[in-house]
Amino acid sequence: MALADESVELPADLLLVSIGQVPDLAGVEQWELGISGPHIEVDSAMQTDRRGVFAVGDFAAYPGKVRMIATAVAEGSTATASVERFLMTPN
């Protein structure tokens, strides 16, 4: 581990920089989904502000969200059940 005033050389063939990624919501901006900055707010059923529209994965947001693969997969299961409930419930 280098101290603040030291530098260290690491041998490598390639360096990939992948930082500062944000979702591109341009395609859904007009849908009134509850867009908050780079994310879309969802409730515990993964429903957006717009009834019948659900969101999962990195761009779906709620308090305490951890953006990982397992989270996105689990949210997909929740959203699928929510969509089924939505379709099966008479309006």
Ligand X SMILES: Cc1cc2nc3c(=O)[nH]c(=O)nc-3n(C[C@H](O)[C@H](O)[C@H](O)COP(=O)(O)OP(=O)(O)OC[C@H]3O[C@@H](n4cnc5c(N)ncnc54)[C@H](O)[C@@H]3O)c2cc1C
The residue (of 64 and 90) whose beta carbon lies closer to ligand X is 64
Structure tokens at 13: 């063939």
Binding to ligand X, residues 14-43 (CB under 6 A): 18, 21
The yes or no reply on residue 69 touching ligand X (CB under 6 A) is yes
Could you tell me how many helices (H) and strands (E) the chain has, helices first? 1, 3
Of the two residues 18 and 89, which places its CB atom closer to ligand X in the complex? Answer: 18
User: At its nearest, how many Å lie between ligand X and the CB of residue 67?
Assistant: 4
State how beta strands 60-61 and 39-41 pair: parallel
The secondary structure element, H or E, covering residue 40 is: strand 39-41
Instruction: Report if residue 65 touches ligand X, rule: CB under 6 A.
Output: no
Task: Give the residue among 83, 34, 82 at the shortest CA–CA distance from 60.
Answer: 34
> Does residue number 91 form part of the binding site for ligand X (CB under 6 A)?
no
- Positions that interact with ligand X (CB under 6 A): 18, 21, 57-58, 67-70, 72
